[in-house]
């Protein structure tokens, strides 16, 4: 059994990271294992920003968004020299295993440290839900609910004015957040990086629906799919209907995590910590439907997750 492990959050924060840190610390404490929190991700690791965490230090955290450990980008850690230095700093603290909580890039960093000889387990956390091999990532549920809340509000005002409202949501390379919230929010059209779209067709459909009495139209645009401002201008020109654009931005990254994000973060972190302290590593803990599954960390970080084409089809049928 390991005696001394560390945990870090890296890349972009997502709601539920604190619930995961808390579960790592308390699971380890229940086994008598010491946990070091590394502040500010891989950058903090290279700057030797270590703090011992106890069950008490993670109190009053489960309900908070962001990450109590902070996060940062590090160009030095991208280099082989930086990675070797990070490995040596971990060793100098007597760290026998590391828990990495984050998205694709952060987990890739964990896979590299594993290759250098540091046992690593990964926990997927990103609002974009784009980590290969897992249905779910920590924070994605809270972010989707934030978008739904915005859609509900924007629909009220769109309907009052008979306007078309375009909502731009996060997702540079992944349309998961846009697609999920468009289906759950009853949006008429969606633009995502993974699928082709046709502005002429959208404009015709919207015009036809207004001609038979519809009072509004909602279009959800993933930031990596197109610029909502640009599409809004084109649709307005083609239909003659007033458009408005709402870019949701970083509001999607914050907020108190939903029940789903708290519970799933806790379960993933408990399983990952138990595996690590028992001497297992190179594993990404994810979900397959409602069950926690173990995936190869190396395999997961070098693959690109694809969107469920069934959901893309469904969004078109329901529009
Ligand atoms: O967390 C993912 C993401 O929100 C992207 O969708 C977005 O483009 C990016 O992070 C913005 O991150 P930042 O402004 O913090 O660099």
Atom 13, ligand 1: which residue's CA is nearest? Answer: 12
Residues with CB under 6 A from ligand 1: 12, 126-128, 170-172, 223, 253
Q: Residue 99's CB: how many other CB atoms inside 10 A?
A: 30
Q: Report CA dihedral (79, 80, 85, 90) to the nearest 10 degrees.
A: 100
- Domain 4-139+257-302 shares a fold with domain 141-253: yes
User: For the chain, what percent of residues have pLDDT higher than 90?
Assistant: 93
- Taking the C-alpha atoms of residue 245 and residue 167, their distance in angstroms, rounded to an integer, is 6
pLDDT, tens digit (0-9, with 9 covering 90-100), for 49-96: 999 999 999 999 999 999 999 999 999 999 999 999 999 999 999 999
**pLDDT given for residue 111 in this prediction:** 97
pLDDT, tens digit (0-9, with 9 covering 90-100), for 178-232: 999 999 999 999 999 999 999 999 999 999 999 999 999 999 999 999 999 999 9
Provide the residue ranges of all domains of the chain, joining segments of one domain with +: 4-139+257-302, 141-253
**pLDDT given for residue 133 in this prediction:** 94
Q: Is the pLDDT of residue 301 over 90?
A: no
Atom 7, ligand 1: which residue's CA is nearest? Answer: 170
**pLDDT given for residue 177 in this prediction:** 97
Rounded to the nearest angstrom, the distance between the alpha carbon of 295 and the centre of ligand 1 is 25
Tell me, rounded to whole angstroms, the distance of Cα 299 from its chain centroid: 19
Query: Given ligand 1 and candidates 70, 128, 170, 175, which is best to mutate, with the most ligand atoms within 8 Å of its CB?
Result: 170
**pLDDT given for residue 291 in this prediction:** 94
Rounded to the nearest angstrom, the distance between the alpha carbon of 18 and the centre of ligand 1 is 19
pTM of the model: 0.96
Q: Is the pLDDT of residue 304 over 90?
A: no
CA distances from 64 to 52, 126, 173 (A): 20, 15, 27
Atom 15, ligand 1: which residue's CA is nearest? Answer: 12
Rounded to the nearest angstrom, the distance between the alpha carbon of 11 and the centre of ligand 1 is 9
Instruction: Give the range among 40-54, 176-190, 241-255, 301-315 with minimum mean pLDDT.
Output: 301-315
**Range 4-139+257-302: architecture per CATH:** 3-Layer(aba) Sandwich (3.40)
Q: Residue 170's CB: how many other CB atoms inside 10 A?
A: 23
Under CATH, to which class is 141-253 assigned? alpha beta
Rounded to the nearest angstrom, the distance between the alpha carbon of 46 and the centre of ligand 1 is 23
- Taking the C-alpha atoms of residue 264 and residue 17, their distance in angstroms, rounded to an integer, is 11
Q: Residue 162's CB: how many other CB atoms inside 10 A?
A: 13
Atom 3, ligand 1: which residue's CA is nearest? Answer: 170
Rounded to the nearest angstrom, the distance between the alpha carbon of 168 and the centre of ligand 1 is 13
């Amino acid at each position: 059994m390991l005696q001394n492990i560390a945990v870090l959050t890296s890349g972009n924060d997502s709601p539920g990271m604190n619930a995961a840190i808390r579960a790592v610390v308390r699971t380890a404490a229940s086994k008598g294992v010491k946990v070091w929190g590394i502040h500010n991700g891989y950058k903090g690791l290279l700057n030797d920003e270590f703090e011992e965490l106890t069950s008490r230090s993670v109190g009053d955290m489960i309900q908070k968004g962001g990450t109590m450990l902070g996060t940062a980008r590090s160009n030095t850690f991208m280099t082989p020299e930086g990675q070797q230095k990070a490995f040596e700093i971990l060793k100098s603290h007597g760290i026998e295993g590391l828990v990495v909580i984050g998205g694709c890039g952060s987990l890739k960093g964990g896979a590299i440290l594993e290759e250098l000889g540091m046992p690593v387990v990964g926990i997927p956390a990103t609002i974009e839900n784009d980590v290969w091999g897992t249905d779910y990532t920590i924070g994605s549920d809270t972010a989707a609910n934030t978008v739904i809340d915005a859609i509900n509000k924007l629909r009220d005002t769109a309907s009052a004015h008979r306007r078309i409202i375009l909502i731009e949501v996060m997702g540079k390379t992944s349309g998961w957040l846009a697609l999920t919230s468009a289906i759950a929010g009853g949006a008429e059209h969606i633009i995502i990086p993974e699928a082709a779209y046709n502005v002429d067709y959208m404009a015709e459909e919207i015009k036809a629906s207004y001609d038979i009495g519809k009072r509004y139209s909602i279009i959800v645009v993933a930031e990596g799919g197109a610029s909502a401002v640009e599409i809004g201008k084109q649709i307005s020109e083609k239909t003659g209907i007033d458009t408005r654009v709402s870019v949701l931005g970083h509001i999607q990254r914050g907020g108190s995590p939903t029940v789903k994000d708290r519970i799933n973060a806790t379960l993933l972190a408990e399983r990952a910590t138990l595996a690590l302290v028992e001497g297992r590593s190179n594993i990404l803990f994810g979900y397959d439907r409602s069950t926690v599954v173990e995936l190869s960390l190396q395999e997961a970080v070098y693959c690109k997750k694809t969107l469920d084409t069934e959901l893309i089809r469904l969004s078109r049928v329901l529009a």
